[in-house]
């Protein structure tokens, strides 16, 4: 004997505000970005290269570390900017930054031997960037407002 009704009312689908969608997408992007880098430490030879002062083709230096921090900070700051910027600036900023990060993301796979690992990370990150571009591009516009105050009709007597 079942105490559950045989049919359920559909769940109420609340629309997700664009700002929340953008902030969530940038947050997911940052998690992927960080975890690909962290999991890369398990790739044979990577830790030894770092201990020898090299990352990919670059010498470890203050300039390299500052550049890497700046590269990661921008998407991190986009989480906040997606919530606090005014709508027009928000839309433009999200479009520009997401488009700029497409080649940055693709570059992360250049010269890597673990194609499947980096390929999956890049595809997921590019999917999130596409969601960001689509969300910003299709940001709903408000309808032009009409005067809500009724126009008085002159009475003729």
Write the pLDDT tens digit of every residue in 39-50: 988 888 888 888
Predicted confidence at residue 3, as pLDDT, reads: 63
Which tops the pLDDT comparison, 35 or 110? 35
Percentage of the chain lying above the pLDDT 70 cut: 88
Which tops the pLDDT comparison, 21 or 155? 21
CA separation for the pair 126, 70 (Å, rounded)? 19
Write the pLDDT tens digit of every residue in 52-72: 888 877 788 899 889 989 999
Contact 26, 75 (CB under 8 A): yes
CA separation for the pair 92, 87 (Å, rounded)? 9
Mean pLDDT of the chain: 87
DSSP, collapsed to helix, strand or coil, labels residue 4 as coil
pLDDT of 1 strictly over 80: no
Write the pLDDT tens digit of every residue in 83-101: 999 999 999 999 999 999 9
Backbone φ and ψ of 48, nearest 5°: -65, -40
Predicted confidence at residue 149, as pLDDT, reads: 58
pLDDT of 12 strictly over 60: yes
Q: Give the count of beta carbons closer than 10 Å to the beta carbon of residue 43.
A: 14
Contact 97, 78 (CB under 8 A): yes
Q: What share of the chain is helix, strand, coil (3-state, %, to 5)?
A: 60, 5, 35
Predicted confidence at residue 35, as pLDDT, reads: 92
CA separation for the pair 112, 98 (Å, rounded)? 23
């Amino acid at each position: 004997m079942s105490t559950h009704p045989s049919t359920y009312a559909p769940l109420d689908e609340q629309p997700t505000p664009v700002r929340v969608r953008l902030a969530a997408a940038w947050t997911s992007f940052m998690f992927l970005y960080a975890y690909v880098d962290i999991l890369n430490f398990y790739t044979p030879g990577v830790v030894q290269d770092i201990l020898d002062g090299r990352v990919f083709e670059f010498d470890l230096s203050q300039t390299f570390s500052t550049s890497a921090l700046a590269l990661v900070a921008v998407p991190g700051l986009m989480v906040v900017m997606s919530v606090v910027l005014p709508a027009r600036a928000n839309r433009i900023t999200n479009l520009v930054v997401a488009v700029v990060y497409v080649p940055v993301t693709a570059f992360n796979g250049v010269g890597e031997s673990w194609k499947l690992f980096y390929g999956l990370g890049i595809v997921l990150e590019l999917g999130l960037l596409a969601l960001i571009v689509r969300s910003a591009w299709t940001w709903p516009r408000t309808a032009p407002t009409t005067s809500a105050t009724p126009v008085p009709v002159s009475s003729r007597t």
